[in-house]
Structures are given as structure tokens and as C-alpha cells.
Amino acid sequence: NAGVTQTPKFQVLKTGQSMTLQCAQDMNHEYMSWYRQDPGMGLRLIHYSVGAGITDQGEVPNGYNVSRSTTEDFPLRLLSAAPSQTSVYFCASSREGANTGELFFGEGSRLTVL
Amino acid sequence: KQEVTQIPAALSVPEGENLVLNCSFTDSAIYNLQWFRQDPGKGLTSLLLIQSSQREQTSGRLNASLDKSSGRSTLYIAASQPGDSATYLCAEFSSNTGKLIFGQGTTLQVKP
């Protein structure tokens, strides 16, 4: 059972480039979310989804887009990367929601924007 | 504003010692509180989840308590081992905001 899989693990971008961070889970979880982790800031919620076709904003959504066309996948898109988006990004899923049960995390995607 | 604080930021203990990690939260409308472990370069692993109606949860050598009146949770680790070395994060889910807010973590080093 793979759990939550994130790709790529490492990425370097130039300012203004676009890219997509992929997240897939094989646990049939309805809830999926993206966090960024920065030194001194902890983990902050970017976007989340409570099911296929449904997405909503978290604490720091600006500069990021998401979509949820299937239960399994929840990609995070950076349309025009900025140095402030240098961070470690984590995808997490839960059977029902962040309030009801255990969150399962991927191993992270480390992004550097030059 | 919903805030979660973990003190100390870092802790170093000799192997075998019992220890307590602290987590404070400001939101009185807590729904649940979770404790996670994060190893360097890895994602977070859920350790314990305490619902607001519960006072504590136990898993092996780990025991987490919740005191809503004081806005505090503690993670007790018994007979610490070098393999326990990691960063431990707590996170509060608020009924008011509908958000899961993380503390910044306590980095634990257990020396052989």
C-alpha cells in the first residue's frame, strides 16, 4: 500500500516559470490537502478538497491553483513561481476530513525558486 | 486568532529518560488535537489523536493528554530511545475556524 505519493521530490525553478506538484493517494480518501512548511512558520494550509470536484482555499492560497477531478489525485499548480514560494510542500489525506481522523502525509516536495 | 505554541523548540535527553513535550493552544472551541512525528527530510506521521471529549490517549510508550480548560496538551514519552529522536508537532482542529493549525514543533534528541 503506497499511501500518499508526491512527485517530484526536488525541483528548482526560475522566477516566472510554472509547474505542477503531483499528489496521489490509494486509500480512497475523500479529504486531500496541501501544506507548505517553512522555518519558523510551521505548516500552513494552502488548499484542500473534501471530495472529487470540490476544492477550497486554506490560509495561504495566493499563487497556487488546485483541481480535484478524481478521488485519487490532487495536483498543486504554481502558475508563475516566485522566490517566496521556495518551501517544502506536503500533501496529506484523510478518510473523511481533517477534523475527524488521522492525516496521512506524503514525504514532501522540496521546491527552490531562483 | 487561533495559535498553537510548542515549548521548548529543542530538547536533548539521555537514553532511558521519561520526558514530556508541551503544546499550548488559544482556541477554546477545540474539536481535536493531534500529535505528529517528523523525521528529517520526511513527511509527518500521526502518533495520537485526542477528541475534545477525551482526556488522554495512549499508544505503546506514548501518552497524550488534553486539558481544554488550560489550553494545554502534553505528550509523554516513557523510557526514551535514540530511535525517538525526531521533531514532534501538535496540531489543533478548531470548531470555530474549521482549520487544523500546527505548532512549530519540538526537536528531540535522545543520546545513547
In this predicted model, what pLDDT tens digit does every residue of B14-51 receive, in sequence order?
A: 999 999 999 999 887 888 899 999 999 889 999 999 98
In Å, how far is B12's CA from the nearest CA of chain A?
20
Residues 6+ apart with CB under 8 A from B71: B24, B25, B26, B27, B28
- Cβ–Cβ below 8 Å for B42 and A90: no
Which residues from B are below 8 Å from A41, CB to CB?
104
How many helices (H) and strands (E) are present in chain B, helices listed first?
0, 11
- Cβ–Cβ below 8 Å for A99 and B43: no
CB atoms within 10 A of CB A86: 16
At residue A95, the pLDDT reads 84
Interface membership of A36 toward B (CB under 8 Å): no
- Cβ–Cβ below 8 Å for A99 and B98: yes
Q: Which of A107, A105, A114, A108 is nearest to A27 (CA)?
A: A105
Is the separation of the CB atoms in B69 and B55 below 8 Å? no
In sequence order, the β-bridge partners of residue A64 are A78
Grid cell of A106 as nine digits: 506524503
Give the C-alpha distances (Å, rounded to integers) separating B13 from A104, B82, B107, B109. 29, 10, 11, 6
Largest CA distance in chain A: 39
Grid cell of A51 as nine digits: 471530495
Rounded to an integer, what is the distance from CA B61 to the centroid of its chain? 14
Question: What's the CA gap between A78 and A74, in Å, rounded?
Answer: 13
Question: What's the CA gap between A110 and A8, in Å, rounded?
Answer: 8
pLDDT averaged per 10 residues, chain A (length 114): 91 97 95 92 90 93 96 96 97 79 89 97
Question: What's the CA gap between A111 and A89, in Å, rounded?
Answer: 8
At residue A76, the pLDDT reads 98
Interface of B with A in 9-28 (CB under 8 A): none
In this predicted model, what pLDDT tens digit does every residue of B87-104 receive, in sequence order?
A: 999 999 887 777 788 999
At residue A100, the pLDDT reads 65
Residues 6+ apart with CB under 8 A from A101: A94, A95, B49
